[in-house]
Structure 1
Amino acid sequence: MFPTGFVCHECFKNSFVSVEPIVSSSSSSLPYLTIHFNFSIVQQFWYIRPNDQASVYRGGTREDCSTKSTQIITHLSDTMLYEKLDQALSQVFMQFKDEFEDQQHAVVEQITRKLLSITTTEMSEVCVDVELQIDHYCDGRILLALEESSSVDGMVPASESAIELLEPMEAHERNSNDDCSVCLDELGEETDVLRLPCSHVFHAECITKWFENSHYCPLCRFEMPTD
């Protein structure tokens, strides 16, 4: 999912909704409003540059999910419109629960507002497009270090054999205040940690990904062996 060498540090979700009537009835007495949902997930990856410079876009992906349809018994003037939409979304979101669950309230609000803005009371069928945009951000110090490595010797990765020989650091050896300088999160006691020959320590996953792009220690520029 993430571009090569990308270590996620912050993640932000935003949902965008559009509503279009697709069928009108000659009678406004029909109790059913049929809603067709189209879901899509857009992942975007950014590096936050130092000194308030513009973020650097590192790539993105788009996933168009399965189309869902549902019927709710309602009119646009129904005082329970929000609650009925919320219940309907709870059913159609099941497949995408992990991605959309924390966005459901915002999505229901947007759909309700857009439905109420449609003037006709004879609408019986609508198409709702829901796009979830997920922005992943990584601290700019990583980008800066990678640029420095590139300007000196190019983006030369460390050898796999050198990475495999890195020394694991046991939980009791770690300082609870230490952070991993790649992802900027605490080392913690439950995660695997590796110690470099220069004595600097990092999350095993973070430093392994780092060495896929650069053979320098992110802190002191100690050079790891290359192929």
Structure 2
Amino acid sequence: MFPSGFVSHVCFKNPFVSVEPIVSSSSYSLTDLTIKFNFSILKRFWYIRPKDEASEYRGRIWEDCSTKSTQIINHLSDTMLYEKLDNALSQVSMHFKHDFEDQQHVIVEQTARKLLSITTTSEMSEVCVDVELQIDHYCDGRIMLALEESSSVDGMVPASESSIKLLEPMEDDERNSNDECLVCLDELGEETNVLRLPCSHMFHAQCITKWLQNSHYCSLCRFEMPTD
């Protein structure tokens, strides 16, 4: 859910894991360790100014996922620690899988590393693992401005969905990564998906898809894509 009037063009996810050991003097076991997972999501919203000025902070939404689950795994000396943590996270995060799924590998890595770093100094029977997923959403004012300029000329007639799906992806060796995407004006780069229009002009896949969903013209040469 976004704040009123906010359009998300791209988002970046960063998980942060903290581990708090709980020492028990009476029930400590060399074979079992209780891990309690607490999940929360912090969504922050930013507006990228059209003239490459500093991004403007627009607000935040904090969500407590409230599912506080407990998993019992073998002691940390177990060689299967990583696999068991991965399985435990899959079970406790299933209710908010959409948000956490693509970050699970990083969360497991952070959790395992922090658990192993405290075993030499703490005799733990239980640990509390807090996982906060920070999601930064960006509304790109450059794209919004380009769409507004296009709408004043083109009457906002979108290209057909079928024609957008047929756009040709560009391989790394077929493009110059220093070339600019003529929608957002950033370099195409080497690790981004790039699409080529029938007129041979290249754009970031995400940029040109959003553009064509509003205007059926190439933003550079005014080549007309099919419409419904």
In structure 1, the partner of 2:13 is: 13
Q: How does 1:84-163 map to 2 (within 5 A)?
A: 84-118=84-118, 119-120=120-121, 122-141=123-142
Change (3 A) 1:143 1:58: farther
Change (3 A) 1:69 1:4: closer
Question: What is the rounded CA distance, in whole Å, between the counterparts of 2:33 and 2:101 in structure 1?
Answer: 23
Question: What is the rounded CA distance, in whole Å, between the counterparts of 2:105 and 2:23 in structure 1?
Answer: 26
Deviates more, 1:42-51 or 1:14-23: 42-51
In structure 2, the partner of 1:79 is: 79
Alignment TM-score, normalising by the size of structure 2 = 0.63
Per-residue deviation, 1:70: 2.3
Give identity over the alignment, percent: 69
Q: Residue 43 of structure 1 contacts residue 133 of structure 1 at CA under 8 Å; is this kept in 2?
A: yes
Q: Tell me the secondary structure at the aligned position of residue 209 of structure 2.
A: coil
Question: What is the rounded CA distance, in whole Å, between the counterparts of 2:44 and 2:216 in structure 1?
Answer: 29
Q: Residue 33 of structure 1 contacts residue 74 of structure 1 at CA under 8 Å; is this kept in 2?
A: yes
Per-residue deviation, 1:126: 0.6
Question: What is the rounded CA distance, in whole Å, between the counterparts of 2:110 and 2:158 in structure 1?
Answer: 49
In structure 2, the partner of 1:212 is: none
Per-residue deviation, 1:80: 1.2
Alignment of 1:171 with 2:160, yes or no, is: yes
Question: What is the rounded CA distance, in whole Å, between the counterparts of 2:84 and 2:78 in structure 1?
Answer: 9
Per-residue deviation, 1:11: 0.9
One-letter amino acid of the structure 2 residue matched with residue 110 of structure 1: Q
Can you list the C-alpha shifts for 1:45-70, whole angstroms capped at 9, x where unaligned? 11122454321111110000123222
Question: What is the rounded CA distance, in whole Å, between the counterparts of 1:90 and 1:83 in structure 2?
Answer: 11
Deviates more, 1:65-74 or 1:40-49: 65-74
Larger Rg: 1
Per-residue deviation, 1:72: 2.6
Q: Tell me the secondary structure at the aligned position of residue 21 of structure 2.
A: strand
Deviates more, 1:69-78 or 1:86-95: 69-78
* Count of equivalent residues: 171
Change (3 A) 1:85 1:128: same
Per-residue deviation, 1:3: 1.8
Gaps of 5+ in 2: 147-154, 168-196, 199-205, 218-228
